[in-house]
Amino acid sequence: MEFQSWLLFVSIASVATITPGPAVILVTSHSTVYGWKHSLLTILGNVSGLFLMSAMSILGLSAIILSSALAFTVIKTMGACYLIYLGIKLWRSGLTKIHQADTIAPIKASKTKAYLQGLAIALSNPKAIAFTTALFPQFITQHTNLLTQFSILVVSFMLLSFTCLLCYSLAAQRAKTRLTRGANRYMNKVFGGLFIGSGGALMTVSKESL
């Protein structure tokens, strides 16, 4: 792979990872509730999902999913429903109540849950599947070892995603310390509304729009 091609790939992938989406909302909400260190598990879960989707792209499975109307609809619906579920849960319970209710046991349990939520958000996003399917083949040259090229692209994409989500997490944690107590009480409504809105937007996505 030529260095110029890699730079172009990094530029495109950077724009995609910086653009706020469901993963960013999830990470910032977890950072606000539990702290940025806890949100690292959410980030790792999301990056793991991106790795799996990248592997699917290499194997050609993502293309099969995108070409199947039924498979695409199922994944899209599952993703949208999951986002709406998270939004309603946050709206009702609230970030502050969740934080105050935590004891040692729930915190340990929530770490696994945080990872799985990050993983689920990644795997149930048809836009992410389409992105990995369409992007990777554009930067592959036939005269160079394919496994090496895919490895470089996948590792670069995962590092970019991890770095971007970590920056959002740190920014959310910093913003929380500056908010007044009254403003903190309304954060659950904000995050809940963002999740519900993202789920509704995802329901409108069609294969033709990807």
pLDDT one-digit tens code per residue, 91-133: 776 554 444 444 333 444 478 888 999 999 888 887 777 777 7
Measured in whole angstroms, how far is the alpha carbon of residue 70 from the centre of its chain? 23
For the chain, give every domain's residue range: 23-204
User: What predicted TM-score, i.e. pTM, was given to this entire model?
Assistant: 0.72
How buried is 79 (Cβ within 10 angstroms: 0-12 exposed, 13-18 middle, 19+ buried)? Answer: buried
Average pLDDT over residues 64-92: 71
Q: Which two tokens stand for residue 72?
A: 């695409």
pLDDT at 99: 43
- Please list, in sequence order, all residues whose beta carbon lies within 8 angstroms of the beta carbon of residue 124, skipping any fewer than 6 positions away: 75, 78, 79, 82
pLDDT at 123: 86
Q: What is the pLDDT of residues 34-53, one digit of tens each?
A: 888 889 999 999 999 988 88
Cα gap 147→58, rounded to integer Å: 9
Q: What is the pLDDT of residues 136-168, one digit of tens each?
A: 777 777 677 777 888 888 899 999 999 999 999
